[in-house]
Chains A and B, each alone.
Chain A
Amino acid sequence: MSRAPWLGRVGGLPALLGGLLLAGSGLLPPAAQAAVPVAEAGAPVPLTIDGGPTSAADPTPVRLSADLYLPPTTPAPAVVIAHGFGGDKTDVAPQATQLADAGFVVLAYTARGFGESTGRISMNAPRYEVADARAVVSELAGTPQVLTDAPGDPRVGVTGGSYGGALALLLAGSDDRIDAVAADITWNDLQTSLFGQSRVPGGELGVFKSWWAGSFFTVGLEQPGARATPCGRFARNWCRAFDRAATRGVLTRADARLMAASSPRSVTGRITAATLIGAGQADSLFPFAQAVATYEQITAAHPRTPVKLVWHGGGHDGGAPEGERLADLMTAWMTAHLAGGPPVDTDFEVTFTDGALGADSRREPVVATMPAFPGLAGGDPTPIDLTGTATAVRAPAGGAPAAVSSFPGAGALAGLATMSPPGQSAAFDSAPVTTDTTLVGSPRVTLQLSSTREVRDVALFAQLRVVTATGTEIAPQGLVAPVRLNRLGPAPTTATVDLPAIATRVSVGDRLRVVVTTTDAAYQLPVQPAVYSVDLADRRLLLPATPGIENAQQPISPWLLLAVPLMLGVVLLAWLLRPRAPRPTQRPELSEVPVVIEGLSKSYRRGPTAVDDITFQVPPGVVLGLLGPNGAGKTTTMRMLMGLIEPSAGAIYLFGSRVHPGAEVLSRCGSLIEGAGFLPHLSGRTNLELYWRATGRSSDPRMAQVLDIAGLGGAADRKVRSYSQGMRQRLGIAQAMLGMPDLLVLDEPTNGLDPPQIREMRDVLRDYAAAGRTVVVSSHLLAEVEMTCTHVIVMNRGRVVAEGEVADLRAGGERLEDVFLGIVGNEHTVGEGR
């Protein structure tokens, strides 16, 4: 597995619906990460830290469970890591280890209300969670291993994702001792995060993200080992606020104040520490606009504060796995601003996760940068005209069935299963675009809405889709822009809507489509049925223009160039390992002797010695019979003769040239070894022609002559597949004779021939040798050899047991068979293997 993401989950594990749904988000820790193995050397020291007051009524400090990670050298600057909602300090162990390895003292602690820490959840309230964090910083100030700027003021950064990210920002805005911040996928304003409102200017309370909020809340309710209670580990005021929102979609003034106090927005004007802000594109909980607000508020209040905005491919919905890149960036940020490390630029970074369809979701995302973030609407919005007519859309009673645009927290499922019940949406299309365009930010559309009757609560969801030339509709990340109106009647109302922020490329031929839907399953929908009319108040769709970002292209890894020397090295190695021809290669004094075999042996790794130290010569012009029972080593000897088998010892010379695989001298030799072999799909004649061309010999193949010897007649033009055993054998002998080579080596040539053909073959071989050529024939048929050969070599068990002219061996007037049995003995006349 890759390194843990930069706080909060931005990886791409496709969480399943149900129980796993919650685990897929950064808000809630994946169950599998509960026990993180920690390297022995950097093993954390567990501590308990006294935090802020338990509650307004109980000033006893909560007890926070923490882990302290120490770097190899101290004193060193410190980093506090806050975990995501529902998790605990162990979730951030991988990041803690990475930071400790980078030279920081790291303190990871479990927030109140979670894990082993006491207290109740107050959603990062200044009096509780933020006070806890300040106590943690004070604890660091008293830790001897931590570098201090002043007494009681440690050199410290704070980082976290999601719930922890908000804490990091809130702490940085309320504690001057913080020197650097890195906050990922978190909120700027809790109210606008949970009550989505994309109508501009806002004002009206947004549509409640019931799915997300419910998921969120459920985790806080859970108390392992305890009985189920209405509020679980939540502080009572938060519990009640949730109940009101979830049952009625409303927010009291007190609830709104509660949320405002827990929103970084309340303190961003006071943040002067270097701040790294991350946001995910696959995030329907805390959309990009939240991070942009934080970024703009900090830079507006303190223009000289280094603030970097990174819009990556991850988020609470899953998205692209950029955890490793982000973890490295966060470490670099802390090193630059706490430890005097190399500076990190404050360019805006945006990831393009789209691209060609079917492309691997695991491919490296393309990251583009811009020196300055141009704002959500882009520097200079480009209009494109939409067409479409007023469309009546129905809001179903009870809000069901509802469109499904994304499954919050479900990762890879998001956007894939977008579906919308009929009659609930209106669509407005642009003409095909004429230039390739890169969109980074929020497109803006102005709608004209009305209702057939007066309605008090209206929810609509707008989405930008890209319709490609082939008709495929792509809804980037499946995000929707919720719009809520408190009332709507027959009189037209204009609503300007910021569509979800996207980072995508639009190609020539694509059309843009704005879809307005009455339902979305992730939101709390009005229960009263209604019919609305949706039209464009302004035909123009304003696209965020982002000049200077067009050329983002995924780089080709320079490591690939290593492949070239690697491949050359392999080729060189193979070349060095090639077998060398044995020496001496030539024996000129033997150039007139067709075959010289000296001390030849062959043994196999497993098995008997097939040929055991044989030595003999074959003079020119003879027909030599290689005689022996089955398994005597005849075929093995012939295979070595043709360079098919490497001898274990000894040497073979043909016409004075040493035989080795592919030796040139083999071109003076024709052979038939262990039966003929032909291409079955070609005729006998074509087989011989192709074989001759394959030998590369330039002399006359004497095709007619050898075909005549084979005696195939008209069958020579039939496919070899149809041949009988005897025909194949004859064609094999003919192939061996192609070009009338000086030496003919035939292994059991009479196999499969009938008696008249055997007799004919006998004459052919005699004639062949009579012209001064040499024939070596192996056989186990003694009478055959007796009649054909002038010379004979008798082999048994891999050894030469007798040799000489046939006439000499038969000097006593015996038949060769008797001579043979006299030498070999009876036991081997029946075959025994090879």
Chain B
Amino acid sequence: MTASPHVRSGTVLPVRVELARQLRRPRTLVVYGLLVLLPLIVVAAVKLGPSASSDPGSRRFGGGSLDLVGLATSGAWNFCITMLFFATGFLLVLVTAVFLGDTVAGEAQWGTLRYLLAAPVPRGRLLGVKLVVGLLSTAGGLFLLIVVSYGVGLLAFGSGPLASPAGGVYDGWDAAARVMVIAVFIMLSLLFTAGIAFLMTVSTDVPLGAVGAALIIVIVSSILDAIEALGDLRQWLPTDYTNAWVGALSPQIDWSQMARGATYSAVAFVVLVAVAFVRFARKDVLS
């Protein structure tokens, strides 16, 4: 090829540029806003609502009932853990679906996808950067939730140790390390949602459709997981391990369920993302 002043020499679509393109989007700000709002709402509910712990009937005991409010208000670490407990079922799944499901389909809808590809950003590079930025945004959301929850919990309830409802009290670095383990596991378990959303986003030009389809698949999996009659079959559902991170609260960290959950999620992610790459590489971009 002849030398030309236009031939690129820098990095095509650097991650920094993609971050700048995505982070200033209103939907990003709304999602992060929700994650900041959740701990604030819970604190407000606990502080302003009727006192649950003064009602003797609310203190149930038995083979494993959970006094969530009592747990949440015992200190910053526990508040943080409770927020994660609330968020893992749906909110973080939603966040992941938005960040990964909108990323390519959103560009298609705006009409910017064709200009990026004609820039030219090689398709593999485009997907790679999109994937990295989507996952970074999701991890950022998770991190934000943890930091805000801890901060809000610290102000509202003081710096209590991390105490598991099933027994076990952890201070300082031990607590931080366990929360770290939990955060890493949650991120890994979100990879399943991420993979579905990412496959959807390269398959459609409608971002809402991609996000919705990913959510529906995750919700259906959760519903199937709740059907006792399916028995052992359910252990193959990736959503079966959503709360496996409570294993990190045992005195001896129970890695086995986390390992399973993370592995299934990672395998599903790799397969889904591989299909997404193969599909997108040959796709006629008509948007």
A residues within 8 Å of B by Cβ?
1-2, 13-14, 354-360, 362-364, 414-419, 436, 465-466, 468-478, 505-510, 553-557, 560, 563, 566-567, 570-571, 573-574, 577-579, 586, 591, 639, 642-646, 655-657, 661-669, 671, 673-682, 690-691, 693-699, 735, 739, 741-742
Contact = CB atoms under 8 A, between A and B. Distances in A.
Nearest to B22: A679
A739 to B, nearest CB: 6
A431 B118 CA distance: 71
Given A359-B254, A661-B281, A473 B164 contact: no
B20 A690 contact: yes
A596 to B, nearest CB: 14
B118 A697 contact: no
Contacts of B124: 578, 662
A510 B167 contact: yes
Contacts of B18: 694
6 contacts: A356-B166, A505-B251, A560-B263, A574-B274, A639-B284, A677-B107
A356 B63 contact: no
Contact of A673 (B6, B114, B256): B114
Contact of A690 (B1, B17, B164, B251): B17
Closest 5 CB pairs of A and B: A677-B111, A415-B63, A473-B61, A662-B122, A509-B169
Contacts of A690: 17, 20-21
Contacts of A674: 111, 114
B227 to A, nearest CB: 12
B178 to A, nearest CB: 11
B32 interface: no
Interface in B230-287: 231-232, 234-235, 240-241, 243-244, 246-252, 254-257, 259-260, 263, 266-267, 270-271, 274-275, 277-278, 281-282, 284-286
Nearest to B57: A419
Interface in B55-82: 59-67, 70-71, 74, 78
A655 B1 contact: yes
- Residue from the set A415, A418, A661, A676 with the largest chain B CB neighbour count within 10 Å: A661
A488 to B, nearest CB: 28
B117 interface: yes
- Residue from the set A357, A468, A646 with the largest chain B CB neighbour count within 10 Å: A357
B228 to A, nearest CB: 7
Contacts of B228: 13-14
Nearest to A467: B61
Contacts of B78: 470
A510 B65 CA distance: 16
B63 A478 contact: yes
Interface string B1-40: 1101111111111100110110011100000000000000
Given A472-B61, A667-B8, A673 B254 contact: no
A693 B66 CA distance: 52
Contact of A470 (B4, B13, B164): B164
B225 to A, nearest CB: 9
Given A644-B114, A695-B8, A468 B166 contact: yes
A471 to B, nearest CB: 5
A560 B24 contact: no
B143 interface: no
Nearest to A415: B63
A436 B252 CA distance: 10
A604 to B, nearest CB: 8
Contacts of B234: 362
Interface in B108-129: 110-125
Contacts of A695: 8, 12, 119, 121
Contacts of A570: 270-271, 274
A639 B278 CA distance: 20
B165 interface: yes
A357 B166 contact: yes
A556 B14 CA distance: 39
B285 A644 contact: yes
Interface string B153-193: 00000000101111111000000000000000000000000
Contact of A682 (B24, B107, B255): B24
A1 B278 CA distance: 37
Contacts of B13: 694, 696
A475 B120 contact: no
A665 B164 CA distance: 60
Nearest to B282: A579
A469 to B, nearest CB: 4
A678 B63 contact: no
Given A357-B64, A466-B167, 9 more contacts: A358-B243, A418-B63, A468-B165, A578-B124, A669-B118, A695-B12, A696-B8, A696-B119, A739-B6
Contact of B250 (A355, A475, A563, A667): A355
- Residue from the set A354, A469, A673, A690 with the largest chain B CB neighbour count within 10 Å: A469
Nearest to B248: A356
A9 to B, nearest CB: 14
A681 B26 contact: yes
A417 B286 CA distance: 60
Contact of B7 (A436, A475, A566, A668): A668
Interface string B124-136: 1100000000000
A694 B24 CA distance: 16
B64 A416 contact: yes
Nearest to A602: B284
Nearest to B274: A574
Contacts of B166: 354-357, 359, 468, 472, 474, 507
A742 B6 CA distance: 8
Contacts of B274: 570-571, 573-574
Contacts of B119: 666-667, 691, 694-696
B220 to A, nearest CB: 19
Contact of B235 (A362, A563, A676, A741): A362
B252 A475 contact: no
A362 B20 CA distance: 44
Given A655-B1, A663-B120, A696 B110 contact: no
Given A571-B274, A574-B274, A696-B13, A355 B164 contact: no
A680 B115 CA distance: 15
B112 A696 contact: no
A677 B63 contact: no
A671 B20 CA distance: 23
B11 A356 contact: no
B117 A678 contact: no
